Every structure is written in C-alpha cells, then in structure tokens.
Amino acid sequence: MSSQAEPTEDFEGIAARAPNRHAAFQPHRKGAMGRAHDLLHATPALVPMIVLIAAVAVFGLVLGGKFFSPFALTLILQQVQIVGVLAAAQSLIVLTAGIDLSVGATAVFCSVIMGKLVFDVGLPAPLAVLAGLIAGTAIGGLNGWLVSRVRLPPFIVTLGMWQIVLAATYLSSGNETIRAQDIEATAPFLQFLGGKLQLGGATLTFGVILMLLLVLVLAYALRSTAWGRHVYAVGDDPEAAALAGVDVHRTLMSVYLLVGLICALAGWVMIGRFGSVSPSATTGVIGNIQSITAVVIGGISLFGGRGSILGAFFGALIVGVFELGLRMAGANPQWTFLLIGALIIGAVAVDQWIRKVSA
Amino acid sequence: MPRPARRPGLALGAIALALLGSGAAAADPVGACLITKTDTNPFFVKMREGAAAKARELGIDLDSYAGKVDGDNETQVAAIETCIANGVKGILLTASNTSAIVPAVRQARDAGILVIALDTPLDPIEAADMTFATDNFKAGELIGQWARARLGAEADTARIALLDLDISQPTVGVLRDQGFLQGFGIDIADPKKWGDESDPRIVGHDVTQGNQEGGRRAMENLLATDPSLSLVYTINEPAAAGAFEALKAVGRDGAVTIVSVDGGCPGVENVKAGVIGATSQQYPLLMASKGIEAIAAFARDGTRPEATEGKSFFDTGVTLVTDAPVEGVESISAEEALGLCWG
Amino acid sequence: MTDPVLSARGLVKRYGRVTALDRCDFDLMPGEILAVIGDNGAGKSTLIKAISGAVIPDAGEIRLEGRPVRFASPIEARQAGIETVYQTLAMSPALSIADNMFMGRELRCSGIMGTLFRRLDRRAMEAFAREKLNDLGLMTIQNIAQPVETLSGGQRQGVAVARAAAFGSRLIILDEPTAALGVKESRRVLDLILDVRARGLPIILISHNMPHVFEVADRIHIHRLGRRLCTIRPADHSMSDAVAFMTGARTPPDVMEAA
C-alpha cells in the first residue's frame, strides 16, 4: 500500500523524530475548489446572494425596465415581507437543529386575536396588538417547553401545534374575515405596518422596514453576542454545548419564545399587507413550508448549527424574485414551483458539500 | 434572436431561454389579466380558454394567474400587484376571499385599471368596477323549484341534506344554498348565511370543498345522521358525483334525488345518466369573453360596463338542465345542454 | 507530606441494584499527573463524573483544597476550578477555535456596546486564545477564527486541552485523550500533558493505554470493583503488574495499607 520503507517496529521512535511541534495547525486544502470551499464554509450566505443577484440580473435583462423599476423591485420586498419574517423565525429554530411547522398558523392566529380583541371585545388597538404578540410568545414558549423539557422532537411538537393553532383560529373566528374597510374605520392601528414610505417610484411599507430591521438585528445577535454563539453551539451538538457550560434549556426556551414573538409580528405584518384579518389566510397552511423553503435555499443546514439568517432572507427574496419575474413574463406559475424545487435540492447539495471537510 | 413563445411549455432546458426575450413587443398592445381561484378546476380552465380566445380575436395581450388552492388570497394579491407592475388596462378576477382581496383591488383601480369580478361578486360588490356573474341565487332557486315540483306531495316530508362548499361560507355557496331552500319553499332566515334554518326537513349541512372526495365524505356524514334522506343539494357537480358514490355504497342511489349547480360537461353527462336529477347550468366562457370585450372597450374609449337591469351585476344567465322537466320551471334537456357545457 | 488538592472519602453511588462506587477513596496531590486505570465496569468513569460534577454521589465527601464541596453540575465544578476534557471534547465543530474556547464564558465589550448591545469582545477573545495556544506550543495557527471541524483529531485535542489549561485553576481531568488518535498525534498530546504539568497544574488522566500511562503518570490509581484497590508508582511496578492488579489476577502487596 505504502511506498514508505520505514520499519514498523520503531514507530514511537519515528514519531519522536517528527518535527517537534505539537498538533500544529497547517493549511491543508489547496487549489481553486478548496479556496471556494473554505470561503463558503466561512460565509454560507454567499451562495444564495449570488443566486439572488443572478436572478435579478436575468429578469432585469429579459423584462427590461418593467422589472428593473423601483416599483417592481420594492414590490418584491412587499410580497416577501410575511415569508421573510417567518423565515427569520424559522432560521432560529433550524439553527438549533429543530423545525417549526407552526410558524404560519401562529401568525394567522395572532392576527385573528388582534382583530377579535378589537372588534368583539372592544380593546384599544395597541392593547390588542400587544395581546396578540403575547399570545404568539406563549405559543412559542409552549413549543419550547415541550421540546426542551419534555424532550419531544420539534417536528412532532410543532406538527401538533400547527393543527391545534389552525383549529383554534377557525373555532375562535367562525372563519369570518374582518373587512379592511371596517378595520380602517375602527382600528387603523392594526394596519399600521401597511403604512408606506414613498421614495420616488419605490414603496417601502413599515412591514418591509420591520422585516429588514428584524433580519439585521437577529444577524447581529447571532454573530456578535454570547446568546447567538450558544444558539449555534446548541444546534451543532447540544451535549457538547452543555458540557462546555451552555445552559441548553435556557437557550432553547429563549429561541422558541422569540420565534413565537416573531410569528406574532408576522401576523401583524399580515394585517398591514392585506388590510383585513382573514382566518383562512393561506399562510396558516403553507407558511411553514414557505419559510422552510427560504431557509433551505438560504443555505441554513437542517441539521442545525450552520448557516446565517441573512442567507434565509436572501432565500425568501430569491423565491420572491422568481415568482414576480415569472409572473411578469407571463409564465405558467407551475414553472415557479419547478424552479424553486430545483433550487431547494441544489441548495441542500451545496450544504452537504460545504459540510464535507477533508481532513 | 427569435422571439420565443410567451408561455414556455417545452423541454426543461428551455426555461431559461423561454424567460429571455419575452420583453415588450414593439407596439405595446392592450394588456389584460385573468386571475382565477385555481388553475385546476375545469370551470376556471374553461374561463381561461374563453378569455384567451376572445383576447386573441381582439389583439389583447392576456396573462393568466391562479391561486394555489381555493381560498388562497395571498397569491391573488400578488397577482394583482404583478398586473399593476405590468401596466395592464383591465383585470378579470374570480376572488378567493371576496372581502380580503378588496384593498388590492382598490390599489389596481387607483392605478387606473378596470377591475371586473367574474363569477363571484366582491364584498362589497361595488369594490369592483363591475361583476360579470351567474345569478347564483337564481341558479339555486331553479333547482329548488324543480325539486319541490318533482317530489310533489312528498315535498312536505322530505329529508334534505345540503352539501356546501366551505365552512368559511363563500358568497357563491351561500347564494346557491339559500336560493335552493327558498325555491323549495323553506324559510331561510338570514339569507347571508346557511345553517341558521329551523325547518325540520333539513337533516344537516356539511362541506365538500367542491370536490368529489369531499362530496362523498360529507354525504357519508349526513347519511350517518339520518339514513332516510330523500333529497340532496350539492354545491357543484363533482360534489354531487361524490355524494352519489356514497349513496350507492349504502344502496340508496335510486331513492334519493340529487340536485346541483354548474352545468359542466361531466355534470351534464351525469344528468343524462340519471345520477343528478337536475342542475343549473352557468356559462363561464361567456363571462370571460364578455369580460375581455369590456376591457377592450374600456381601453378604446373609457366606457365602463353596465349592470343588467334590476340587478347590481351583469347577469350572464343560467338555465335549468334536466331530463325530467316539471311544469312551471323552464328547462332544457341534457342533450341540449351538452352543446353548451364547459369542462 | 503535603495535603492533597482534591480528596474523596467513602463515595457511594448506586444505580438501582448496581453499585458503581463502593465507599471509594481518592487523592490527587499538587502538581502531579495521577492516572486512573481500571477494567471496564470498574466504576472509574462514575468516579470521574462524581469529581467533575456530572454525577452526584449518594454518600461520601469530596474536599477541594481541604474544603468540602458538592457539585450539582459540571458547571459548578468548573466554577470551582475543575476543568474536564471529555472524550468527545465537547466542542462545536462548526464554530471557531476562539468561540469554542470561550463557550459559556464569553467576554463582552466594555462600555455601552457590552452592556446594552451585549457585543462580544472578539478581539480580546481571539488574542487570549492565541496566547494560550502559543503557551502550549500549539501555534502556527493560520486563523484562530477557523472552524474546529477543519482541524485534525490531535489539533482538536490540543485546543480542548488548551481550553482546560487556560481556565482550570485547580486541576484538570483528561478522559482518554489519546484514544482516538494516531501514533504521532498521541505523542504530541502526551507532550502537551507534560507541558501542562510543568506549569504546575495537577492532572487526572483516565486512560486504557498502559504505555502512555506509564510514561507520563507520577502515580497510578488502580480502580477495581467500585473502589480504589491501590495506588502505585510506575517506577515500582511493571505494566503487567498493573494489569494483573486491575483485573484481580494478583493482589498488590500493599493493598491492606492503601484501602
């Protein structure tokens, strides 16, 4: 096997003669492929960013000024604001090696609570919003407690919670939509996040700004605070994290509580975007899959501990760009699903490649 | 570079190419959008065909969009926004959530776009510039009147099951249901919702999502409640087909009369085969082609479509289809209806 | 004779009907490397867990520098100055060397960035990590921010030992540090252990590898049937003696005195 002609008996001696640096660190991989690998390893959000820029460029070339207008480009932001916020929540859970199927349902439920408290109970709108945010946080906390203390798998916990919350939404609302006109007349504060900043042709809603701020704050917290490092460590290997001195339970609880709160915020964003409160909103049913799609395309590993929330944001934007671009091009919407499907598989393949570390 | 087809439909590798070059044509034609609830229901497929044919004839550039599932408001809002971004002249819309879509519709109208609601009126109805629709209440009323006459003396002791669309009670479902009950001679209490009637002849309401699977399940549920039913109202013909399967399974298919609404070709075939006693036929193709004509007129000189006299919408008509005509209710035979059917 | 850094008397731990520790004693002297050997199931890992806080003994007493202590968790043991390098290393592969060294005891920036924004003082942490690795001759690191998973097994062990040495003020426990390593890397880790001792920190070394144990240990604690059978000096006995004692094939001459 080996061409080395050293006698094997004296292995200790050979080892002793080896350069006397203990466990020295040496660069090992070389070449363009290796360098790309290292770069992606360090900055996993790079792939979705490149895909995003390429997608914008291609659609811009094809559709011309119609697509490359401030109106259309900011429209994408408006169209992804709900999924973007949910994807931020989903990222946190996925980083802890979990998955949350209840994000969309929680968002819809919280929006219904906000609406119901104003219209059925007569609470002032800001209090109703606060109550909705608290309800979302509570749902997240319950998920977190079941995952962290009772030690049930996150998939099962949130699968159940998804159904429970959806049913609670329908039961509590009789599935009646609260009309935009009524909200506008009685409680415009509920639609606050639908407010607009007009900059030339560009339109930024407060919901979009909230999404951008949320992503930036979370990116900072995950990168530059001890809490963020703990989230990664817990997702990477919870036992190792515990042995290294991380309070795994507290970290998980903080993540799930925060995710519940973010989902409730998404509910508020929904009222802003659609004007109305609609218990049958599709987000309740497919919001989880949409957010997981964004997270996966964004290069966050479903095995936890790897990836960045910026990637998930880019992932949501990629889906938004594809959807708007293909729609504007008049393509059958099924092409969007087909391309998104291909992107998902591609993203996971890249993730596996990044994780493969040559020794 | 040759201009590729606007709708890519070939090999997978052609996607990227198909994307390229669908840019604006030399002289911008009038653009129009058709937004339907889903793109799987044959009713909407037919609507799309009707719109596309008329658009070709009038030289209008038509893009079609659809929600992912029935009730999908979000995708429809995104579609409206796309149409605004594309600078179309008019939008034909079959709303999934008639009240939740209203702010998006207002945005489009603010951008100077003519918005016509097809088939399903918005809530409120004046949120759209005009509604081109079947009179769904009348559609229900026709089958109600027919059923009453058909059952004759038994009508007073009938056991009625109602298979509706969805628990969210979309307007179309409510109108048909309440029309049917009124036509049959039952006090409908609040005409804005079903389920509040107190007539003892009603066995119960259940929902079907308007498909065969849901129709069968709902029928089974109601059969379990009362196996002696004699009359079944169904929201549409797929639901009716499902209900028939459930009745057949318990051997009551001959003893129960099924009525429905829609007039799709499979439904009309079922009338012919005796599965469905009577159905009210509507004309989606007509709605869509009239809608395109209205957009063309609006683009030409700004004329807006007008409502049918005495109604708040443009009525595209409805006809009772049955092979067992009764006195006092006008109807056409299944054979005739096959020539007019869709899907 | 000096006082032990850490001593245990009469430790008992039962799991149902199994007695893992049976009135076990233990002593670690200042500045020494004490190897703990024993057959599988002898209870040595329970002993180590009791000392590192991972297991709470049913009875008995542990004294650290003469004062009685009770650890409810590894974190408490760590706060008392006892650092453990687990066989699994307890590192997060995807995180950097510096992140791993400071996991659970991160440094925050001073001023408002630290208190309000809770910003990590990355520069200080990286400088500290670099210094500690340097101290142990583990340098030539290209990038202290490189993820641990890009390191070889020996390098990871090195980082783990460096972490323990940097933060362990009383003693450090090494659990099978060479078990997963090749010959060359084992050699380096053994040198590293000797380096740490040279800096005055006592070490408890759990290992199955007799040559390694005999090479670096000052004393060897032989564990059998849930208790300390005897403590020997490597100079006084051969490896086969140790194995014979450990497996019960022979009774050590001074067993009466040691127990």
Chain B CA closest to residue A72: B85
Looking up tokens 């996925």 gives A94
Q: Looking at domain A45-352, does it have CATH number 1.10.3470?
A: yes
Q: Do C152 and A241 touch (CB under 8 A)?
A: no
CATH of the domain at B159: 3.40.50.2300
Reported ipTM: the value is 0.84
Give residue C82's domain range.
Answer: 6-94+147-258
Q: Number of structural domains, chain B? A: 2
Question: Which residues of chain C have a CB within 8 Å of the CB of A25?
Answer: 138-142, 146, 151, 155
Residue, of A343 and B141, whose pLDDT is higher:
B141
Q: Work out the minimum CA distance from A34 to partner chain C, whole angstroms.
A: 12
Same domain (yes/no): B143, B118:
no
Q: Work out the minimum CA distance from A359 to partner chain C, whole angstroms.
A: 6
Question: Which residues of chain C have a CB within 8 Å of the CB of A245?
Answer: 74-75, 78, 103-105
The answer to whether the beta carbons of residues A238 and A134 sit under 8 Å apart is no
Q: Work out the minimum CA distance from B223 to partner chain A, whole angstroms.
A: 25
Q: Do C189 and A23 touch (CB under 8 A)?
A: yes
- What digits encode the pLDDT tens for the residues B150-162? 999 999 999 999 9
- E strands, chain A, in order: 196-199, 202-205
pLDDT of residue B40: 75
Question: Which residues of chain A have a CB within 8 Å of the CB of C122?
Answer: 224
Q: Is A195 on the interface with B (CB under 8 A)?
A: no
Residue C198 falls inside a structural domain: yes
Residue B5 falls inside a structural domain: no
pLDDT of residue B171: 81
Sheet holding C33-38, edge to edge: C82-85, C171-175, C203-206, C33-38, C219-224, C227-232
Give residue B116's domain range.
Answer: 14-134+284-306
pLDDT of residue C111: 85
Residue C252 falls inside a structural domain: yes
CATH of the domain at C16: 3.40.50.300
Q: Number of structural domains, chain C? A: 1
Q: Do C92 and A240 touch (CB under 8 A)?
A: yes
Same domain (yes/no): B325, B238:
yes
Q: Is C73 on the interface with A (CB under 8 A)?
A: no
Say yes or no to pLDDT of A263 above 50.
Answer: yes
Residue C138 falls inside a structural domain: no
CA distance to A231, A255, B319, per residue, from A99 (Å) = 14, 12, 52
- E strands, A68-216, in order: 196-199, 202-205
- Label the pairing between strands B31-36 and B90-93: parallel
Q: Do A79 and B72 touch (CB under 8 A)?
A: no
Nearest C-alpha neighbor of C143 from the set A135, A28, A177? A28
Residues 6+ away with beta carbon under 8 Å from A25: C138, C139, C140, C141, C142, C146, C151, C155
> Which of A249-263, B211-225, C100-114 has the highest mean predicted lDDT (pLDDT)?
A249-263
Residue B9 falls inside a structural domain: no
pLDDT of residue B324: 94
Find chains touching chain C: ≥3 CB pairs under 8 Å: A
Residue B45 falls inside a structural domain: yes
- What digits encode the pLDDT tens for the residues A179-236? 888 898 999 999 999 998 988 888 899 999 999 999 999 999 999 999 999 999 999 9
Residue C74 falls inside a structural domain: yes
For helices A103-116 and A125-148, the axis angle rounded to 10 degrees is 150
Helix (H, G, I), strand (E, B) or coil at A301: coil
- What digits encode the pLDDT tens for the residues C46-66? 898 899 888 899 999 999 999
Residue B330 falls inside a structural domain: yes
Residue C115 falls inside a structural domain: no
Same domain (yes/no): B101, B158:
no
Q: Is A245 on the interface with B (CB under 8 A)?
A: no
pLDDT class of B286 with cuts at 50, 70, 90: confident
Q: Is A174 left (phi over 0), alpha (psi -120 to 50) or beta?
A: left
Residue B33 falls inside a structural domain: yes
pLDDT of residue B202: 95
Of A45-49, B182-186, B278-282, B328-332, give the lowest mean pLDDT range: A45-49
Residue B72 falls inside a structural domain: yes
Q: Work out the minimum CA distance from C66 to partner chain A, whole angstroms.
A: 26
pTM of the complete model = 0.80
Q: Do A274 and B75 touch (CB under 8 A)?
A: no
Same domain (yes/no): B187, B111:
no
SS3 for C203-232 is EEEECCCHHHHHHHCCEEEEEECCEEEEEE
Q: Do A274 and B74 touch (CB under 8 A)?
A: yes
